[in-house]
């Protein structure tokens, strides 16, 4: 099951409207809403699962940095009228979740970070994928995961299309550089919301020690590792990831108004 993409007021997003509590999903640099399909399917009935499509490839280039993307998320949340939410962020999406929480602490009920940037990331290895070399792009996409079969042809084709479009590639590089510049080591301890850290033991983009560093710096965090797993645990091991997320969300449910 995947909900249709809604387009309104210059925003593109999916929304399940399955419950009162908002579960906001933020995808990564090469990510898409399909990366969260396992979460959407598992939580669609109990939560209002909302997945905005980040305008990395479409927003004005002068605004294309992490600050601009956070402003886009803030504008989207204001447009939708959400008051408080649980946020799940993978990779760059986790970085944006942290920046949003630093700027809007009272709106964050909980945060789940998985393979998140913000402290260290090895975005595409030591080299950006070569234009026109499909096999090279395929190997790079496969290296994101422990099991290379997780990198479906659809995923590889999408990355290949991006790196072979000069303007798209420039946008991706600019966003990646902005992420490196926005290191949060000195600020991250200001986030006091409950944080669940879910890390793949074999993640080579944000290695296991990065998850441990997040756990050390975040005052109200818990850390779980998933074995035989790379940079996107919610894709490689959706059942295990969802079990961890469900338990965490239940512990951090919003207080219900008394009658």
pLDDT for residue 32: 77
Give yes or no for residue 236 having a pLDDT over 70: yes
197 occurs within a structural domain: yes
> What percent of the chain clears pLDDT 70, i.e. is strictly above it?
94
pLDDT for residue 130: 63
The mean per-residue pLDDT over the stretch 232-248 comes to 97
Between residues 160 and 88, the one the model is more confident about: 88
165 occurs within a structural domain: no
Q: Write the CB contacts of 73 (distance below 8 Å, at least 6 apart in sequence).
A: 26, 52, 54, 96, 100
pLDDT for residue 132: 74
Neighbours of 195 (CB within 10 A): 28
- Number of domains the chain contains: 1
> What percent of the chain clears pLDDT 90, i.e. is strictly above it?
81
Closest to 220 measured CA to CA, from 176, 177, 190, 182: 190
Query: Domain containing 99: what range?
Result: 6-121+182-251
Predicted confidence band of residue 131 (pLDDT cuts 50, 70, 90)? low
Give 7-57 pLDDT, tens digit per residue: 999 999 999 999 999 999 999 988 778 899 999 999 999 999 999 999 999
DSSP state of 128: P
144 occurs within a structural domain: no
214 occurs within a structural domain: yes
Give yes or no for residue 1 having a pLDDT over 70: no
The mean per-residue pLDDT over the stretch 68-95 comes to 97
126 occurs within a structural domain: no
203 occurs within a structural domain: yes
Between residues 120 and 122, the one the model is more confident about: 120
The mean per-residue pLDDT over the stretch 75-92 comes to 97
59 occurs within a structural domain: yes
Buried b (16+ CB within 10 A) or exposed e, 69-85: bbebbeebbeebeeeeb
pLDDT for residue 231: 96
| CATH number of the domain where residue 34 is located | 3.40.50.1820
159 occurs within a structural domain: no
**pTM exceeding the 0.85 threshold for the entire prediction:** yes
Q: What is the mean pLDDT of the chain?
A: 92
């Amino acid at each position: 099951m995947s909900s249709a993409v809604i387009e309104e007021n210059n925003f593109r997003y999916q929304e399940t409207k399955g419950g009162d509590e908002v579960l906001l999903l933020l995808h990564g640099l090469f990510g898409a809403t399909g990366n969260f399909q396992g979460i959407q399917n598992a939580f669609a009935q109990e939560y209002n699962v909302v997945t905005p499509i980040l305008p990395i490839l479409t927003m004005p280039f002068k605004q294309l940095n992490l600050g601009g993307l956070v402003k886009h998320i803030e504008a989207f949340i204001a447009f939708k009228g959400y008051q408080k939410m649980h946020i799940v962020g993978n990779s760059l999406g986790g970085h944006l979740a942290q920046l949003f929480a630093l700027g809007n602490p009272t709106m964050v009920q909980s945060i789940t970070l998985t393979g998140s940037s913000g402290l260290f990331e090895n975005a595409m290895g030591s080299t950006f994928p070569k234009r026109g070399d499909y096999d090279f792009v395929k190997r790079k996409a496969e290296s994101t995961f422990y099991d290379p079969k997780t990198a479906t042809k659809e995923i590889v084709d999408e990355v290949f299309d991006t790196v072979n479009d000069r303007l798209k590639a420039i946008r991706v590089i600019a966003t990646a550089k902005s992420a490196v510049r926005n290191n949060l080591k000195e600020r991250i301890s200001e986030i006091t919301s409950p944080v669940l850290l879910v890390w793949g033991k074999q993640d080579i983009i944000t290695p296991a020690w990065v998850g441990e560093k997040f756990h050390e710096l975040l005052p109200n965090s818990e850390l779980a590792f998933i074995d035989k797993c790379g940079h996107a645990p919610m894709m490689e091991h959706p059942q295990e990831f969802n079990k961890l997320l469900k338990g965490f969300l239940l512990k951090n449910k919003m207080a219900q108004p008394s009658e």
